[in-house]
Structure 1
Amino acid sequence: MKNVLIVIICFSAFFNCKNEKKTDENISTENSERTEKQSDGLTLLKGDFVYYADAAILQTHAEIYGVILNNKVDELNDKAKAFKKEATDFVLVEVRGKITQKPEGEEGWDNRLEIIEILSVKPASKEKNNVVQSGKE
């Protein structure tokens, strides 16, 4: 008798469990709560920036980007000059932009960055700006 009762309880528990289905409501709600900046397709990058001799580079903790030269790069370089002692000094920047891959057959960094928005410019740490220069004493 106990075995029959246990079997009945197990079957009733098994058949009475809710079978919850996940809906796309959570996904659509999440998208509607995103800000306009989060939905514009731009990437936020923080790192060391240098612009020298018609070439610009942004080095983050994980990647190095060749920066596409445009008006924003000129604006960023003008802001960075206040923090540089030498033309080759890095500055710490926070920018938003579009990341693309380098076209095949071209020289340069694998990833390219087109800067769209400049968020901040700060001096880099002194250790990062130690550059060995020949001919100077």
Structure 2
Amino acid sequence: MIKQIFTLLFCASLFVSCKNDPKKEADNIDESASKTYDQNDGLITLKGDFIYDKNQNAAVIQTANSTIYGVVVDDNMKALNDKVKAFKKEDTDMVPVTVRVRRFESNEENTWKYRVEIKETIKVEAPNPEQNDVIKIEN
């Protein structure tokens, strides 16, 4: 009887000690993601559709609630544009991105109310093939 109890306890402790804990792994992933998304550095995380028009040297990000931000054209924006090119079929395709930006009010007339300066690219996604939002730019 004692031998059976000892064997049962031994097997239970062996099972518990060898078990991988996916919750701890998920916590580590969430923790690293939240460090990227929620740093207290004055930047905001922005998710939206990105497009850059090389001819006019202008870029915008449109969020899900239809807010449009003018994007500062700099090295970070050009690096994002290089990543986005892989997902474009046409130059006018908008590509979903998640970026960390510095947002500020535009003091130029005839531009977007807010502009953003890209500081970090978090994610670039393939556009939804069923979404048919095509913008054609003509001269």
* Residues 89, 129 of structure 1: 8 Å contact kept: no
Question: Max radius of gyration: which structure?
Answer: 1
Query: What is the aligned-residue identity percentage?
Result: 44
Superimposed CA distance per residue, residues 59-92 of structure 1 (whole angstroms, 9 cap, x where no aligned partner)? 0023110001110110000000000010010111
Residue segments in structure 2 that go unaligned for 5+ positions in a row: 1-33
Q: What TM-score do you get using the length of structure 2 for normalisation?
A: 0.64
Equivalent residue runs for 1:88-127 within 5 Å: 88-103=92-107, 105-127=108-130
1:56/1:41 CA distance change after superposition, 3 Å: same
Matched, 1:73 2:68: no
Secondary structure of the equivalent of 2:125?
strand
Distance in 2 (CA, whole Å) between partners of 1:92 and 1:129 is: 14
What is the alpha-carbon root mean square deviation over aligned residues?
A: 2.3
1:35/1:127 CA distance change after superposition, 3 Å: closer
Residue segments in structure 1 that go unaligned for 5+ positions in a row: 1-33
Distance in 2 (CA, whole Å) between partners of 1:132 and 1:116 is: 26
Q: What TM-score do you get using the length of structure 1 for normalisation?
A: 0.65
